[in-house]
Copies of this chain bind each other. A is one copy, B any other.
Amino acid sequence: MQASPPKRDSAKKEMLVRIGVAVFTEKGFHNTPIDELVAQAGVPKGSFAYYFGNKDAYTLTVIQSYAEYFNKKLDRCLGNEALGPIDRIKAFADEATAGMERFAFRRGCLVGNLGQELGALDETFRTALLSALVGWQTRIEACLEEAKKAGELAPEADAAALAKLFWYAWEGAVLGAKLEKSRAPLDGVSAAFIGHLRSLAPIRRG
């Protein structure tokens, strides 16, 4: 039986994962040698091999960690009952936009970056990236179902299709923010999506 690694080791592992998110969203996968990751973390190369085995396994850990980070952010924003369901989606978009602004729009979304770079090359990566996106879509879809119950959205609106539309438009806007070095694409897509939802409000009768 192997003892669990000492606490400072698990801190090193977490740091390597955090560095991976930062570097991959800015520079992508193929442009990032392991040497650069371990240099930034200030750990010997052997540690990288010890924690992750190889770069592919490491990247899968980074993708899962990123997916979870946004799952938690979504759960928090979309679970905020002080706001109506549609306003919760807007609050999430505003928070995600502030996150990109903090890094001067140099960092994109890991799913967008690695999806473009690796999606067609490797089935394991494609599946992991798609499942991250599906996890986020499911959360928006559930919030749209709540919007129906709250009378904000017509019962016949297709919540699953709208949730997918939100994420694909969002991923495109993240690319736009990177290219324009501006929050304008994110604000534009957010406003258009929320406006579209408002146009799908139930028709008031009587």
Q: Copy number of this protein in the oligomer? A: 2
Q: Mark A17-46, 1 if CB is under 8 A from B, else 0.
A: 000000000111011000000000000000
Give Cα A41–Cα B130 distance, bound, in whole angstroms: 33
Residue of B nearest to A107 (CB): B120
Give Cα A165–Cα B170 distance, bound, in whole angstroms: 10
Contact B30 A178 (CB under 8 A): no
Cβ–Cβ < 8 Å partners of A85 in chain B = none
Of A52-60, A88-96, A110-118, the stretch lying at the interface with chain B is: A110-118
Binding site for B on A (CB under 8 A): 26-28, 30-31, 105-108, 111-113, 115-117, 119-121, 126, 129-130, 133, 161, 164-165, 167-173, 175-176, 178-181, 185, 188-189, 192, 196, 199
Contact B199 A176 (CB under 8 A): no
Partner among B105, B168, B189 whose Cβ is within 8 Å of the Cβ of A176: B168
Give Cα A27–Cα B118 distance, bound, in whole angstroms: 7
Contact B165 A192 (CB under 8 A): yes
Cβ–Cβ < 8 Å partners of A108 in chain B = 116, 119-120
